[in-house]
Chain A
Amino acid sequence: MEIVITSAGDKLTDKFDLRFGRAAYFCVYNTQDKTSKFVSNDIVNVQGGAGTKSAEKMIELGVKRVISGDFGPKAKQLLNKFEIQMVMLDESDSTIESIIAKISK
């Protein structure tokens, strides 16, 4: 299963991003072979609809779970429709590494 974690940078030591639509990078973590890759979010600077576009990207990537700080109403609706699980964490100080460590326990 592939899981997306919103990230502020493209390294595992970078901070977890609490925003979904406007996160700088999406870390795609594969639970089977424990690999991760970073996908840059090119819609960080658009005017509106970042949540919707990011949600569409999640559908495109075919992930089953998204971990972020919060989700907007439009993103929520879309992710719900495609049965992608949303997880909200309040840990703004955690790194991507530590979150991966937690979920792969």
Chain B
Amino acid sequence: MPRRRRLRRIVAPPGFKGFKPYGHVENKTAIDLNYEEYEAIKLADYDLMNHAEASKLMGVSRATFARIYESARRKIAKALVETSEIKAVYGNAHLDNDWFVCNKCHARFNLPNSTENACPICQSEVIERIQEK
């Protein structure tokens, strides 16, 4: 079994559900841009942070941040060239006001300003994000 993917902390979700090109030949495909990829683009190219600072903010290593950022750039480039739609999807992100449930001891909790992804009661890493209705 591969190592669990760490949740990437993001400050705010994107303010859009997606982007659509116009004036193009009809193309039904869409590209899913994860929240963490949007966040990476925002931190690096909008807030002009360097990768080390940005990676700390998202609670991942610098190398992982670079990979997320690269994947984000490639997705956007692909969407532009192939005139496909961009859709914002949740991905592996966690927001400050997200709630989680531990699958072992059933405690519910939030993770404010933390880069740890373990249950505060039993330290189990088997946690799930509670979906908002």
Closest chain B CB from A76 CB (angstroms):
8
Residues in A neighbouring B110, C-beta threshold 8 A: 80, 85-86
Q: Is the CB of B106 within 8 A of A90?
A: yes
Does B121 make an interface contact (CB < 8 A)?
yes
Question: Quick check: A86 and B109 within 8 Å, CB to CB?
Answer: yes
CB neighbours of B106 from chain A (8 A): 90
Number of A-B pairs whose CB atoms are under 8 Å? 38
Q: Which residues of A contact B109 (CB under 8 A)?
A: 85-88
Of the candidates B96, B97, B114, B121, the one whose C-beta lies within 8 Å of that of A103 is B121
Chain A contacts for B120, CB-based, 8 A: 65, 67, 85, 87, 103
Please indicate the chain A residues that have their CB under 8 angstroms from the CB of B113 in the complex. Answer: 83
Say which size band chain A's interface belongs to.
Answer: 10 to 19
Contact (Cβ within 8 A) B97 A89 = no
Bound complex: CA of A89 vs CA of B113, how far in Å? 21
A65 to B118, CA, bound (A): 14
CB distance from A98 to the nearest CB of B (A): 11
Restricting to B67-121, which residues have a CB under 8 Å from any CB of A?
96-97, 105-114, 120-121
A-B contact pairs, 21 of them (CB 8 A): A65-B120, A67-B120, A80-B96, A80-B97, A80-B112, A83-B96, A83-B112, A83-B113, A84-B112, A85-B112, A85-B114, A86-B109, A86-B110, A87-B107, A87-B120, A88-B107, A88-B108, A88-B109, A102-B105, A103-B120, A105-B123
A residues neighboring B (CB under 8 Å): 65, 67, 80, 83-90, 102-103, 105
In order of increasing CB-CB distance, the 6 nearest A-B pairs are A88-B108, A83-B112, A87-B109, A83-B113, A87-B120, A89-B107
Interface residues of chain B, those whose CB is within 8 Å of chain A, are 96-97, 105-114, 120-123
